[in-house]
Chain A
Amino acid sequence: MLAFILRRLAQAVVVMLAVGLIAFALFRFVGDPVLFMLGQDATPQDRERVTRLLGLDQPFYVQYASFVKRAVQGEFGLSLRQMRPVSALIVERLPATLELSFVAALLALVAGIAMGVYTALRPRSWLSQLLLALSLIGVSLPTFLIGILLILVFSVQLGWLPSFGRGETLAIGWWTTGFLTASGLKALVLPAITLGLFQMTLIQRLTRAEMLEVLRTDYIRFARARGLTDRAVYFRHALKNTLVPVITITGLQLGSIIAFAIITETVFQWPGLGLLFIQAVNFADVPVMAAYLCLAALFFVVINLVVDLLYYAVDPRLRIQPA
C-alpha cells in the first residue's frame, strides 16, 4: 500500500515537471511581453531595461530552472500585466473556482447517478425515455450555449437569478465564500448547472450502461435466487458494482470540470481562475498562464491519485492478498 502510494507520487512529480516544462516553454515563445508592456514607441534602452528586469534575457534552461525552483515554493513571479505577485492573484481567485467546481461536480454526481440508476431499472417508463433524450442534448450542446440559454431564460426572461458575478461573499481567513450569503448561493445556481450539465449527462449514461451490464451478471441472478429483496439486489449488490467504474470516470471528470470552468466563468463573468487565465492569455501574461497550467495539472494529478486510492478501497480484488 505504501509502495503503491510512493510510486504514484513519484509518477506525479514527473508529470508535474513535464507540464511545467511544456507550460513554460510554450508560453515563453507566445507573444512578446515587453512589447505588450511598453507599446510600439518604447526606446531600445527601455526595452532592454525591462527585459533584464523581468529576467527574460537569460538562457532558456536557466529561466526554466529558476521557474521550477520558485514554482515549488508557490512563487510564480509578478503578473506582467498587473504587476502583482501571481500567487496572490491565484489565492484571490481560487475559492471562486473551487466552490463553483465543487457544486457542479456534486450536482453532476448526485443527479447523474440517480438518473442513471432510474433509467436502468425502469427502461420502459416515459420518464426514462425523456431523461435519455435530454441527456443526449446535454452531451451534444456546447457549454457556452447552455450558459447563454440559461441566462436568457432565468435571468433575462424570468429575472429569478443573477446572470453574472458571485454575489456577496464572506471572507474566512484568505478564503472567500459565496455559500453563506443568499445572493452568493443564488449566483451559484446557473454557473453550476452550466458547468455540471455535461458531466451529469455523461455520468447518467455511464451509470445506466454499467448498471444494465451488472444486472445481467450471474451474481445478480443468484442474489435474486437467494430471495433477497429488490432493494438489496438493486441498491446494495448492483449499485456498488456499478459505482466502481463510475468512480474512475467521475474522478477524471472532476479535473475537466475545474479545467472547463474557463468557459463557464467567461460566460458568467465568474471571478475565478478561468477568467484570470483568459485575461492572461489576452495580454500574453506568461507567469499567470504558466501558474494556471501548473495548478490545473496539479489538480489532475491529485485527483487521479485520490481516485486510485478510492478504487483500491472499493474493490477488494485490487488489494494485495495476505499470504
Chain B
Amino acid sequence: MILQAKNLRVEFRTRRGTLVAVDDVSFSVARGEVLGVVGESGAGKSLTGLAIMGLLEAPGRLAAGEVWLEGQRIDRLPQAALRAIRGRRIGVVFQDPLGSLNPLFTIGEQLEETIRTHLGLAGKELRQRALALLAEVGIPAPQARFHHYPHQFSGGMRQRVVIALALAAEPILLIADEPTTALDVSMQAQIIALIKRVARERGAAVMLITHDMGVIAETADRVAVMYAGRIVEIGTVRDVLHAPRHPYTAGLMASIPRIAAGAGRSRLAQIEGAMPRLDAIPRGCPFHPRCPKRFERCLSSRPELMPAEESQAACWLHASAIAQR
C-alpha cells in the first residue's frame, strides 16, 4: 500500500464549539491504483486530502488518526520533514488551474523552482527535465511555452502545467482535488486521460477527489463516497456505481441525468433536503433525515462501515445480512 489513512478526524475549533468536518475516515490506495473520493461540497473530501498532506490551515487540525505513506507514518512529522515529502513524494493538483499558478512568474520559473527544491538539479539538466515534463503532459512547443506567463495559457493547458508541477519530482502519490471541475467538457476528458496515463506509467497511486460521478466512472478503480464527513460507502467502481449499497449512493446515481432512447421526459430524480451543516449533524445515521429507507435504528445509533455484498457501506440495512450469516 502506498497510502493508508486510518481513522482520520479533522476538527475546527470555533468559538461556538468544536466542529468535526472529517470523522473516522479510513482508506488505502495501492500502487497504480486510482481511488475516487466523491461527495457533495462540504462532505469533507478536500479536507481529507489536505489532512494527508499536512496542509490543514488553522483553526482546522488533524485531531486523530494516522497517515502512512509507504509504511512510514507522516502525520506526526515536523513541518520541515513534511515539506520535503510534499511535492517530492506527494504531488497535488488543485481545482482552479489559473489560481494555482503565480501570475508573476513564468511557468518555466515555477517548474524549475520545484525541481530544484526537490531534486537539486541545476543548469542544463534542470532545464531539460523541465522541458521534458512539459512535453510529457502534452504542452505543444515546450521550448517556446517555457517563458510564458500563466495568463497566456488556456484553462486546459494551465491544468497540464499544474500537473507537470505536481509530477516534477516523480511523486508516488498524486492527490488531485477536483482537477477537471473548472474545465470545459472536452478538456476534462483529456486531463482525465492524462492523469490515468501518468498513474499507469509511473506506478503512482492517485487519490482523485471530485463531485462528478462521470469522472469517477471513467478514471477510478475504487471509489469512496463521503457524506457529512464520513465515508458511507467504499468499493470498486463497478460494484458501487452499478449496485450502490448505501441509499445515499443510490440517490446520487439516480440523480445523474440520462440521455437515452426511451428514457422519455421523466423528472430528474433528486435527494430531498440538503446535507446537514457541521454544527447540526443529526444523531444516529447522519443521512437518516433524507433517507427513503430509514427505520428506527437509524435514528438512534450510528452505523459503521460494514460489508455489503462486494462493497462496504455504513448503513443498517446491511446489518441483518451480517447477522444472518
Which residues of A are in contact with B by a Cβ distance under 8 Å? 217-219, 221-230, 232, 236-237, 240-241, 244, 314-317, 321
B24 vs chain A, min Cβ distance (A) = 25
Chain A's closest residue to B101 (CB) is A219
Q: What number of B residues sit within 8 Å (CB to CB) of A? A: 31
Q: For residue B168, which residue of chain A has the nearest CB?
A: A226
Binding site for A on B (CB under 8 A): 53, 55, 83-88, 92, 94, 96, 99-106, 113-114, 117-118, 149, 151-152, 162, 165-166, 168-169
Cα-based distance from A227 to B104 in the complex (angstroms)? 19
Hey, which chain B residues are within 8 Å of A221, CB to CB? 55, 94
Q: In the complex, are the beta carbons of B114 and A321 less than 8 A apart?
A: no
Residues of A within 8 A of B100 (CB): 218-219, 222
Contact of A226 among B96, B103, B105, B165 (CB under 8 A): B165
Contact A226 B92 (CB under 8 A): yes
Of the A-B pairs whose beta carbons lie under 8 Å apart in the complex, a sample of 27, sorted by A's number, is A217-B99, A218-B94, A218-B96, A218-B99, A219-B99, A219-B101, A219-B102, A222-B92, A222-B100, A224-B83, A224-B86, A226-B87, A227-B87, A227-B114, A227-B117, A227-B169, A228-B113, A230-B83, A232-B113, A237-B102, A241-B102, A314-B104, A316-B106, A316-B149, A316-B151, A317-B103, A317-B151
A316 contact set on B, CB distance < 8 A: 103-104, 106, 149, 151
Per the bound structure, the CA–CA distance linking A218 and B168 in Å amounts to 19
Q: A224 to chain B: which residues have CB within 8 Å?
A: 55, 83, 86
Most buried by B among A224, A232, A240: A224
Across-interface contacts of A240 in B (CB, < 8 A): 102, 104-105
Beta-carbon contact of B94 and A226 below 8 Å: no
Give Cα A240 to B102, complex, Å.
10
A316 to B105, CA, bound (A): 8
For A228, give the chain B residue with the smallest CB separation.
Answer: B117
Known: A219-B100, A222-B94. 7 other contacts (CB 8 A): A219-B99, A219-B103, A221-B55, A316-B149, A316-B151, A317-B103, A317-B149
Q: Give the residue name and chain of the B residue nearest to A225 (CB).
A: B92
In the complex the two chains form, what is the Cα distance from A237 to B150 in whole Å?
A: 14
For B104, the chain A residues whose CB sits under 8 A away are 240-241, 244, 314-316
Q: Select from chain B the residue with minimum beta-carbon distance to A222.
A: B100
Q: Tell whether A225 pairs with B151 under 8 Å between CB atoms, given A219-B99, A232-B117.
A: no
For B88, the closest partner residue in chain A by CB is: A227
Q: Chain A residues near B113: list those with CB within 8 A.
A: 228, 232, 236
Closest to A322 in B: B152
User: Of A222, A230, A241, A314, which is in contact with the most chain B CB atoms at under 10 Å from its CB?
Assistant: A222
